[in-house]
Amino acid sequence: MEIAVRSITEQEHPNKLRALPCLSHLSADELELIERKSYVKTIAKNDMLFSSSDELKYIFILVSGSIKLFKTSEEGREIVIKTMTAGEHFCYAPLYTGRKQMVNAIALEKSSVINIPAEMFLDLMCDGLSGQGIKILHTLCQKVQHLSKIVESLTFKDVEKRVLSCILDLAEEKSPSGDIVLLNITHQEIASMTGSVREVVSRTMSKLKKSGIILNRTSKGFKIDKQLAIKYMKQ
């Protein structure tokens, strides 16, 4: 495995650092501070830059080569989220969503990547934003994570698991500490959220009702047993 680490060269600074929109208006002195704490790592073809189980430690700017961002299912199925090319930046959304990587990253060829320490990047962002701005940024990053989960669900899960995952997420959002949660949502709305159709969702809901997960079901809402749903998802 080929891994080389070096400081950022004059050719890479400040142009590559300015590729990040939030850094594009910094002064030369401010960029120099980032440069001193960042470094360039070169990785060989087919080597992993990080996996979805890793803690976020760096924000990345690709200097040369190409990096594939992808997700895999438990059965080993793969979906490519994007192939990053020189000049692109990635992996900033997890800063505000649990600090865990959302995807896997592998080099498709020999590649060089600028690594900016995540903590320093976060401090820099907070220094330049008001408290309200930080809250807005946090919300936007949560939306990115939510969309990432939708892509994964549509790709790897069957309809039943998509429906169950959807209503379980809604119940958790509405009442994190409750075990039995009332959701006022129609089958058509669930179908739209899970990439299905109302008839299929209705059949799925009937099956979940027989399992005891769905309680007091009507066309306009129902109650869900969160703990039973979680156990069912793990089967």
Side-by-side strand order, sheet with 214-215: 180-183, 222-225, 214-215
Task: Check pLDDT > 90 for residue 189.
Answer: no
Percent of the chain with pLDDT over 70: 71
Residue 173: domain span: 157-234
Give the chain's domain count: 2
Residue 38 is predicted with a pLDDT of 87
Which segment of 104-108, 155-159, 176-180 scores lowest on mean pLDDT?
Answer: 155-159
Q: What is the mean pLDDT of residues 95-111?
A: 85
Percent of the chain predicted with pLDDT > 90: 20
- The verdict on 166 and 141 lying in the same domain is no
Mean pLDDT of 215-230: 85
Question: Same structural domain for residues 173 and 134?
Answer: no
Does the pLDDT at position 198 exceed 90? no
Output the pTM of the full model: 0.56
**Residue 208 maps to which CATH number?**
1.10.10.10
Residues 139 and 208 in one domain: no
Q: Which residues of 27-55 are buried (b: 16+ CB within 10 A; e: fewer)?
A: eeeebeebbeebbbbbbeeeeebbebeee
Across residues 90-104, what is the average pLDDT?
78
Q: Where are the beta strands (DSSP E) in 86-233?
A: 89-90, 104-107, 111-117, 180-183, 214-215, 222-225
Tell me which residue of 47, 144, 62 sits closest to 102, measured CA to CA. Answer: 144
What's residue 10's pLDDT?
Answer: 45
**CB distance 221 to 183 below 8 Å:** yes
Among 150, 185, 207, the domain-final residue is 150
Model confidence pLDDT, tens digit, residues 14-47: 456 766 666 766 777 777 778 888 888 999 999 9
Mean pLDDT of 142-153: 62
> Residues with Cβ < 8 Å from 140, sequence gap 6 or more?
none
Reply yes or no on whether the pLDDT at 2 is more than 50. Answer: no
Residues 138 and 68 in one domain: yes
Residues 46 and 110 both lie in one domain: yes
| Residue 201 near residue 163, CB atoms below 8 Å | yes
The predicted pLDDT at position 232 comes to: 85
Listed residues 122, 150, 178: the one ending a domain:
150
Q: Give the residues across from 59 on adjacent strands.
A: 116
Neighbours of 12 (CB within 10 A): 19
Out of 150, 166, 185, pick the residue that ends a domain.
150
